[in-house]
Amino acid sequence: MTMAARAVDVAEQAVALLDKIGVDKALYTGGEMASYSPVTGEQLAALKPDTQEAASAKIDKAARAFETWRLVPAPKRGELVRLLGEELRAVKTELGRLVSIEAGKIPSEGLGEVQEMIDICDFAVGLSRQLYGLTIATERPGHRMMETWHPLGVVGVISAFNFPVAVWAWNAALALVCGNAVVWKPSEKTPLTALASQAILQRAIARFGDAPNGLSEVLIGDRAVGAVLVDHPKVPVVSATGSTRMGRDVGPRLARRFARAILELGGNNAGIVCPSADLDMALRAIAFGAMGTAGQRCTTLRRLFVHESVYDQLVPRLKKAYANVSVGNPLESTALVGPLIDKLAFDNMQKALGEAKAHGGVVSGGERVALPYDKAYYAKPALVELPSQIGPVLEETFAPILYVMKYNDFDQVLEDHNAVGAGLSSSIFTLDLREAERFLSADGSDCGIANVNIGTSGAEIGGAFGGEKETGGGRESGSDAWKAYMRRATNTINYSRALPLAQGVSFEI
Ligand code: UN1
C-alpha cells in the first residue's frame, strides 16, 4: 500500500464514521480550518471556524435556552443525560475509532475514553435526584434555615486534544443535570470528535422532545474564539482543561469579571517505589502510567523515585519494557504506543531530552520511530536516569518521558515529590502501612489525586478530578464537583409571629 493510499484511507474512514454518527458534512468541508490526523499526519477535514460574532451569538442563544432549562425539574433533566448515555453506547465503537483517528489513541484507549463519557452520564443521572442542600439549625425560634442549589447559567467548556471528548462529557453531563446550558470550545486539533459528540447529544435532545434550542453549542476555532467564551458576560463559569500557560491567561480574565474558573491544567506527576513494593505490580503500573497514551495524559507519570534498595531490581526491568514496547499506527496494529499529536510535541520532547542530558541524564529511547508517514511523529518512549531532580524534570513536557531518580530517605523523597509547580496526581508503591498513610496525610503528597499501589493515570469518574498549585485547583467529574456548576442560596424562613433578630440585636421602631 502506498503512503498516499493509506492517508486517504484515514480521511475516508473519518468521513464514514462521521456519517454514521450523523454529523452534517457541511460542518467539516469547504472551510479554511484544516484538521489533521496524528496517525498519518494527513488532513482530515476543512472546517469553517466561527467568527467572534458567531461565537457570541451562540452563547446568547445558549443563555436563552438556560432560561427555560433551569425550570425543568432536575430528575427530568437527568432523563436527557440518560438518553445521551444510551446514544453514546450505540456509537461507542464509531466514536472510539474517531478518537483514535483524531487524537492517535490506541483502540482500547479510544474506547475507554467513550466509556468514561458513558460512566459520567450514569453518574449524572443518579445525581439528578441528589442535588441536596442542607437544613441548618437556626438560633431563632419559629424559623427554619436551609440551602437550595440553583442552576447557574451557561457553562463554558474549553478542552484539550488529549481527552477530546471525555472532558467535555464530565462537564456537560453535570452541567445539564444541574440545569445549565453548555457552550464548548474544543481543541482546534480535535474538532471532529467534538462535532460528533454534539451530534450524539442532539440526537438525545431530539428524543427527549422539549429541550430548548441552543442548550448545547460548539464553537469551532482557535484561541480568539475561546476568548469570546472566557470574556462573555453571560457565562458565569468556565471549565478549562489545558496547559498552565493557558490557565494563567484564562484564570485572571475570569476573575476580572468575577466568573468562576474550574481549571485543570498541567501535571508533573510522580511515583515513589518503596523498599517493600510489589515490584511486578509497580512495573506494570509505571509502564501504563508513563507510556500509555504516548505520555499525553495530564495524569501521565513523569517522575519516578525508586528506593536505592530496589533500584537495581526494578530499573533494568523497566528499561527492558521500554526497549520492547511496540510503537505504531494505532489503526492498523496492536501497538501500545501511538503517535504524538504533532511535530511541536516531538520537538518539545527532543528539547527536554537534550536538557536532561546536559544535566547528567542517561537517556534510553526517545528517538523518532520510522513509519511511512513523513508528517506523523512517532517516538520511542524515553526513560531518563538522573542523579537529582533538576532542569526539565521540574517542568511538564507533554510526551512519553519518564525521569527516574534514586532515593534513600522517605522524608526527603516526600519533599522532592512536592517540589514542582504542578499538583495533579501521585502514587506510592509500598506494602508498609506507615509509608502509605503518611503519603496520603496532610504532610504527604500535595496533589489532588494520591494513590497507593496503582499508577497516577486512569482515574475513575466517581472521584473528584483535579489538582492543586499550578494545576489550577478545579475539580471536575465525581464526588461533589457538581457544586461548582450551581449557585447556592441560603434561605431563612420565619413561620412565627415575632421578628427576633440574630445575634440578639435589638432594633425597636
Ligand atoms: C486528562 O488527561 O486531561 O485519569 C484527563 C485519567 C483520565 C482522565 C485524564 N481518566 O487519566
Residue 3 scores a pLDDT above 70: no
Please report the pLDDT score of residue 284 as a whole number. Answer: 98
Distances (CA, A) of 367 to 102, 293, 341, 342, 354: 23, 17, 16, 15, 12
Can you list the domains of the chain with their CATH numbers?
49-265+472-490 (3.40.605.10), 269-462 (3.40.309.10)
Please report the pLDDT score of residue 7 as a whole number. Answer: 47
Tens digits of residue pLDDT in 287-325:
999 999 999 999 999 999 999 999 999 999 999 999 999
Q: Predicted confidence band at 1 (pLDDT cuts at 50, 70, 90)?
A: very low
In the chain, the N- to C-terminal Cα span, in Å, equals 92
Question: Which amino acid would we find at residue 385?
Answer: E
Cell numbers found for residue 113: 475514553
Mean pLDDT of 480-508: 97
Q: State the angle between helix axes of 92-103 and 3-21 in degrees (0 to 180), rounded to the nearest 10.
A: 140
Mean pLDDT of 37-62: 97
- Radius of gyration (Cα) for the chain, nearest Å? 24
Cβ atoms of residues 115 and 64 within 8 Å: no
Q: Which of 264, 385, 396, 476 is catalytic?
A: 264
φ and ψ at 367, to 5 degrees? -80, 160
The span from the CA of 279 to the CA of 289, in Å, is 15
458 CB near ligand 1 (under 6 Å): yes
Residue 56 scores a pLDDT above 90: yes
Please report the pLDDT score of residue 5 as a whole number. Answer: 47
Give catalytic status of residue 147 as yes or no.
no
Q: 441: alpha, beta or left, given left = phi > 0 and alpha = psi -120 to 50? A: beta
- The two beta strands, 269-273 and 260-264, are unpaired
Give the mutation target among 298, 398, 427 for probing the ligand 1 site: most ligand atoms within 8 A of CB: 298
pTM of the entire predicted model: 0.96
Residue 457 scores a pLDDT above 50: yes
Tens digits of residue pLDDT in 417-427:
999 999 999 99
Please report the pLDDT score of residue 180 as a whole number. Answer: 98
Tens digits of residue pLDDT in 114-134:
999 999 999 999 999 999 999
Give the mutation target among 119, 168, 296, 297 for probing the ligand 1 site: most ligand atoms within 8 A of CB: 297
Helix (H, G, I), strand (E, B) or coil at 185: strand
The span from the CA of 7 to the CA of 373, in Å, is 8
Tens digits of residue pLDDT in 374-433:
999 999 999 999 999 999 999 999 999 999 999 999 999 999 999 999 999 999 999 999
Q: What angle do CA 69, 75, 81 make, to 5 degrees?
A: 70
162 CB near ligand 1 (under 6 Å): yes
DSSP 105-124: --HHHHHHHHHHHHHHHHHH
